[in-house]
Chains A and B, each alone.
Chain A
Amino acid sequence: MFIPVTMELLGGFWESIKVFVLTLVFSIPLGLVVCFGSMSKWQPFRRLSDTRLHALSKWMPLRLVTRTFVWIIRGTPLMLQLIIIFYGPGLMFDLPSMGRFTATIVAFAINYACYFSEIYRGGIESIPQGQYEAGQVLGMTKSQIFFKVVLLQVFKRILAPMSNEIITLVKDTSLARIIGIYEIIWAGEQFIKKGLIWPLFYTGAFYLIFSGALTILFGKLEKKLSYFRG
């Protein structure tokens, strides 16, 4: 029984891995976009500061919209977002279905981008102002300061919270079954009908090995960056 169970679970795990990898590919850069939105200081009505409408002058619409969006995404279950993104477009706007897998990636990528954006923001805001000022007085441009001075320091600071989130994602992929993605737990559950419980424990071993490998990987990255402090 061991070989067929393993094959079945491997098939399910492949789906889980696909969701995991594609989610990271899209959410890591998307998170940066969301992060810049939630840090935006754009004030379209700044010129009104000396008029009676001065309250409006401090209004930062991009920041407000982004932070509201992040609040909604982080404040509601990923499972709910999966269901709405898969069924919503068809039921609400008569749009053709984008397919289960695409819907899964869209929902996961948006959800994780929002979490990542807050980690990025914390990392960027934790860099002392003096680092920017030192770059400025040395005549660097804004982008030189970001890429040559700040970025690696931010990367080092966010490594631990990012590894936390990414390990959570390994296990969150199981939620995709709610819209019919045949992932590993679903595969393991098939065997309950045949009176077998051990395949379910076996799925746990897959998760443990995978998250164990990630832990080692992040440990190595952390060690690689331990040559400096700050």
Chain B
Amino acid sequence: MSVLEVNNLRKGFGDTEVLKGISFSLEKGQVLAIIGSSGGGKSTLLRCLNFLESPDEGEIWVDGKQLLSDSEEEVRQNRLHFGLVFQNFNLFPQYSVLENITLAPTLLKRSSPEEIRKRAMGLLEQVGLTQKADAYPYQLSGGQQQRVAIARALALNPQILCFDEPTSALDPELTGEVLRVIRGLKNGGNTMIVVTHEMEFARSVADRVIFMADGVIEEMGTPEQVFDDPQSEKTRVFLRGAQEKF
């Protein structure tokens, strides 16, 4: 059974329709890569899944439960099925690395302070930053900040972890360390949705790829299907453009 099912999601801003009926599903443990040019609706889709935008229409099912709701409290609870890693990390500058990870679990009273701390240290080990537990965000490189942000999102045990262009704000030499962490998470069985411009990464890590253009899913399938045998002309043009960069 699929862990996530999105049905006919629509979202407009004023007169512009950004999502024009998005439907897809995702199996547990799968990695979904969403590619496409800027303005195609990728980020908006991710923001809808994390309830940072409220869709005008549609349904989001996780584990057989419909999550969209008008109640603020329900939204706050429901969004915890998802985790989100931002393009710009958005770490809390006044907290140390460890505190950034423990803050939300502590406020949500997930478990005892010692337990939370222990788990946070475990997560830091997982992203290779045990040494930096007491550092402050400004003392870290972009790649390190993003790895902390990943650990922070994992601390709440989301069923589906989303990444919004996790390497787009990084210097090229720092993207590798972040992508390696994401790859490690896949091997650990995490269900993930990654919006990315890293085509090679999408091809090698994703189980499924969605190509979005103008607010619709233009093409969807395995990486081989989408990258090697695209059916839609728009996909072909986009992929050709992405390759020409090199």
* A interface with B by C-beta (< 8 Å): 128, 130-131, 133-141, 144, 148-149, 152-153, 156, 227-230
Contact = CB atoms under 8 A, between A and B. Distances in A.
B93 A130 contact: no
A28 to B, nearest CB: 21
B107 A130 contact: no
Interface of B: 50-52, 76-77, 79-80, 82-84, 86, 88, 90-95, 103-104, 107-108, 136-138, 152-153, 156
29 contacts: A128-B90, A130-B86, A130-B88, A131-B90, A131-B92, A133-B52, A133-B90, A134-B86, A134-B90, A135-B104, A137-B50, A137-B82, A137-B83, A138-B103, A138-B104, A138-B152, A138-B153, A138-B156, A139-B76, A139-B104, A140-B104, A141-B76, A144-B107, A148-B103, A152-B94, A153-B94, A228-B95, A229-B136, A230-B138
Interface-centre pick from A139, A149, A228, A230 (highest chain B CB count, 10 A): A139
Given A136-B52, A139-B77, 8 more contacts: A130-B86, A135-B104, A137-B82, A140-B104, A152-B94, A228-B138, A230-B93, A230-B138
A144 B138 CA distance: 23
A149 B99 CA distance: 12
A130 B90 contact: yes
Contacts, number: 64
Contacts of A230: 93-94, 137-138
Contacts of A156: 94
A206 to B, nearest CB: 37
A-B residue pairs, 8 tightest by C-beta: A230-B93, A138-B104, A134-B90, A130-B90, A229-B138, A137-B84, A228-B94, A228-B93
A130 B91 CA distance: 9
Given A227-B136, A228-B138, A134 B52 contact: no
Nearest to B73: A141
A35 B167 CA distance: 37
Contact of A140 (B77, B107, B136, B153): B107
A227 B99 CA distance: 14
Contacts of B50: 137
Contacts of B104: 135, 138-140
B79 A139 contact: yes
Contacts of A228: 93-95, 136-138
Contacts of A138: 103-104, 152-153, 156
A138 B154 CA distance: 10
Contacts of A137: 50-52, 79, 82-84, 153
A11 B93 CA distance: 46
Given A130-B88, A230-B93, A139 B80 contact: yes
Contacts of A139: 76-77, 79-80, 104, 108, 156
Nearest to A138: B104
A130 B153 CA distance: 14
